[in-house]
Amino acid sequence: MSKGMVDVPPKGGFSFDLCRRNDMLTQKGAKAPSYRKTGTTIVGLIFQDGVILGADTRATEGPIVCDKNCEKIHYMAPNIYCCGAGTAADTEAVTDMVSSQLQLHRYHTGRESRVVTALTLLKRHLFNYQGYVQAALVLGGVDVTGPHLHTIYPHGSTDTLPFATMGSGSLAAMSVFESKYKEGLTKDEGIKLVTEAICAGIFNDLGSGSNVDVCLITKGHKEYLRNHMLPNPRTYVSEKSYAFPKKIEVLLTKITPLKEKVEIIESSDAMEE
Amino acid sequence: MEQKPFSRGLLSSEADSQRTLYPYVTGTSVVALKYKDGILMAADMGGSYGSTLRYKTVERMKSIGKHSLLGASGELSDFQEILRYLDELILYDNMWDDGNSLGPKEVHSYLTRVMYNRRNKFNPLWNSLVLGGVKNGQKYLGMVSMIGVNFEDDHVATGFGNHLARPILREEWHENLSFEDGVKLLEKCMRVLLYRDRSAVNKLQIAKITDEGVTVSQPYSLKTFWGFSAFSNPTAGAEGSW
């Protein structure tokens, strides 16, 4: 038996070999399996005391809504939350991973996590995978240095912004922010603006829908308002239940007992241990 | 009998030089809405040549006849061709001299037919047109795209305006807007487009059409705000990062 290739010890990092095979297959006409995307509207803004994040709750698989009420605002640290758009598996995995890394870091340093730490961990990971981890994130939190809001793109670039939107509904939400945002908003004004932006995404973008989730983070305090607003209630419920009308006549009742097909022998020694 | 050589059909390379394949000098979005007395339409004055902002004084809104106003985005040479077709149409209409004149609905219908037939011959006029007008007190606002999709609505936008301006219009438009409110709403939309559309120019015109006729305003600029503290110091808390 002759060895065609020399055995090379496995190097660290992502192996890009299959990417060439996938490209070749798509050129030949094979359709790649579609990902479960969160086709989304996610937003964040900085108000006078901290950061408010918002997200819709629709997850799509191509043209079908596969989850009507999913959670897109992920926990990173007690004072940091992250909204995720793009491939659902990628956003979940990457935010979970960085959340664990942050906790280990907190044990190591004995201090509260900083937003820039989460930012750097995320962007290093995403850049390492050259955009193949399709996660577009809006990261927000309040730490000792103040409130921070960042966007992170799948290829690893980041922005620091006073207000940010990502996802397929980002243009609709951004139009609301660009026309109504100002500095020094109060808590109620901020939540109202975030809700308006998410609703603009829900009603004007096909990839976003269902409900509005809001997360408010200030110094030493956070409020996770799951399903803060439900603008798409199920309004029509039929009064008739799924019962047959009672006028069916019974013509004949015949009961046929089924014969036992297997004889169960009670033996004293069951399974040998 | 002489045999004709087998012609390769409409999509052969000889016929390519006669068809519009790509747009070259383009105008960006047009936004329009119905208000109490008629129609308000806004468009900036930019003509981009690919990624260069080549022409900065292009009038992309023109009045058609007595009752209509046409705004166009897309290829500017095709817009000029459409204006020539409409010129001829209005001329023939005037020559009838019968006291009736073509209203916005008729012009919209004519444009729809022209755009759709051109698209069927694989030689489209690369424009998204907004047609607004008032005739005998009836307001009309419609849109035709380059493939012939046409519809009528209370507020329309082309190009990027669809994504950025229509959400705002859907929230804040209502019947019987006053002139000032209508202009404020259009300016809100144009400001968002100025911030977020790379081919937008801060020099716009607003046109108004009522029963009395068309007025196109002088070009003017919008005020923009860039004074957010996160813009002046984005790396607060992390010197050296971005």
Domain containing B92 — which CATH number? 3.60.20.10
pLDDT of residue B17: 67
B5 within some domain = no
Residue A31 has pLDDT above 80, yes or no: no
Disruptive mutation site among B168, B226, B231 for chain A (greatest number of A CBs within 10 Å): B168
Whether residue B184 lies within 8 A of chain A, CB to CB, comes out as no
Whether residue B136 lies within 8 A of chain A, CB to CB, comes out as no
B87 within some domain = yes
pLDDT of residue B13: 61
ipTM over 0.85: no
Positions of A marked catalytic: 40
Disruptive mutation site among B29, B31, B155, B163 for chain A (greatest number of A CBs within 10 Å): B163
B77 within some domain = yes
Share of chain A above pLDDT 70, in %: 86
- Tell me what the mean pLDDT of segment A60-67 comes to: 86
B1 within some domain = no
- A267 or B75, higher pLDDT: B75
Q: Angle at which helices A170-180 and B179-196 pack, to 10 degrees? A: 120
Residue A4 has pLDDT above 80, yes or no: no
Q: What is the DSSP string of chain B?
A: -PPPPPP--TTSHHHHTTS--S--EEE--EEEEE-SSEEEEEEE--EEETTEEEES----EEEETTTEEEEEEEEHHHHHHHHHHHHHHHHHHHHH-SS----HHHHHHHHHHHHHHHHHTT----EEEEEEEEETTEEEEEEE-TT--EEE-SEEE-TTHHHHTHHHHHHH--SS--HHHHHHHHHHHHHHHHHH-TT--S-EEEEEEETTEEEEPPPB--------HHHH-TTTTSTT--
pLDDT of residue A1: 46
Residues with pLDDT less than 50, chain B: 1-6
B218 within some domain = yes
Residues A183-223 have pLDDT tens digits of 889 999 999 999 999 999 999 998 898 999 999 999 989 99
Whether residue A127 lies within 8 A of chain B, CB to CB, comes out as no
pLDDT of residue A62: 82
B199 within some domain = yes
Residue A176 has pLDDT above 70, yes or no: yes
B189 within some domain = yes
Residue A143 has pLDDT above 50, yes or no: yes
pLDDT of residue B1: 47
Residue A265 has pLDDT above 80, yes or no: no
What total of structural domains would you count in chain B?
A: 1
Chain B residues 188-227 with CB within 8 Å of chain A: 188-189, 191-192, 195-196
Q: What are the tokens at A145?
A: 């240095």
Q: Which domain holds residue B208?
A: 22-222
Q: Tell me the whole-structure pTM to 2 decimals.
A: 0.78
Whether residue A231 lies within 8 A of chain B, CB to CB, comes out as no
Q: Which residues of A fall within a CB distance of 8 Å from B230?
A: 46, 149, 160-162
B149 within some domain = yes
Q: A46 and B230: CB-CB below 8 Å? A: yes
Residues A237-260 have pLDDT tens digits of 777 777 666 777 778 889 888 887
- A127 or A245, higher pLDDT: A127
Whole-angstrom distance, CA of residue B88 vs CA of residue A85: 52
